[in-house]
Amino acid sequence: MAKIERKFMAHYINATPSGEASYERLGSDLEEFNVEMNAEIETKSNILGETSVNLSQYQAQASVEPFYADKDTKLFTLLQDIIDNRKVLDDAKTDVLEVHTWEEASAGAYTAYKESAIVEVTSYGGDTTGYQIPFNLHYLGDRVKGTFNPTTKTFTAEE
């Protein structure tokens, strides 16, 4: 059995959604990061005593908490802009990548999935450990498979 260490499932966020993509990896302060699938399930029982289950969609989301502000990162700039300007709707939209670094697809590039997401800043402030900006990512379901090169930080969609 070849178990995969958590560090090989990489998550990136585009910190410059209105310009050329600038992907920053999530995780430096995170002990845990899960994408909650939030499946929409409908269960029905008929008069024969049979049960049917229909899974119609996923409403995936993830929570990034804690997130310590680092003024030298573009992700901090993005989050502070959302806070300062109370951005909503498409103004709070970016894209995220899920990169399977255990699956090298080509030299230096790994299997990856790109998806749009809304950034919801849940609060800001924090305690004496530092300025914190925890946020949620609400995935929009337009998932595209491709490859990602972590050296050049470039995503290439499959044809």
Domain parsing of the chain, residue ranges:
6-157
Question: SS3 for 114?
Answer: strand
pLDDT one-digit tens code per residue, 55-77: 999 999 999 999 999 999 999 99
Is the per-residue pLDDT at 85 higher than 90?
yes
User: For residue 159, what pLDDT is reported?
Assistant: 86
Q: Which of 7, 12, 6, 14 has the alpha carbon at shortest distance from 25?
A: 12
Q: Which of 110, 106, 93 has the alpha carbon at shortest distance from 153?
A: 110
> What CATH fold (topology level) applies to the domain 6-157?
Elongation Factor Tu (Ef-tu); domain 3 (2.40.30)
Tell me which DSSP letter residue 68 carries. B
CA 101 to CA 63: how far, in whole Å? Answer: 21
Cβ neighbors of 145 (< 8 A, separation 6 or more) are: 111, 112, 113, 157, 158
Encode burial over 121-136: b for 16+ CB neighbours within 10 A, e otherwise: beebeeeeeeebbbbb
pTM for this entry: 0.93
Q: Which two tokens stand for residue 1?
A: 């059995």
Q: Which of 145, 122, 104 has the alpha carbon at shortest distance from 64?
A: 122
Mean pLDDT of the chain: 96
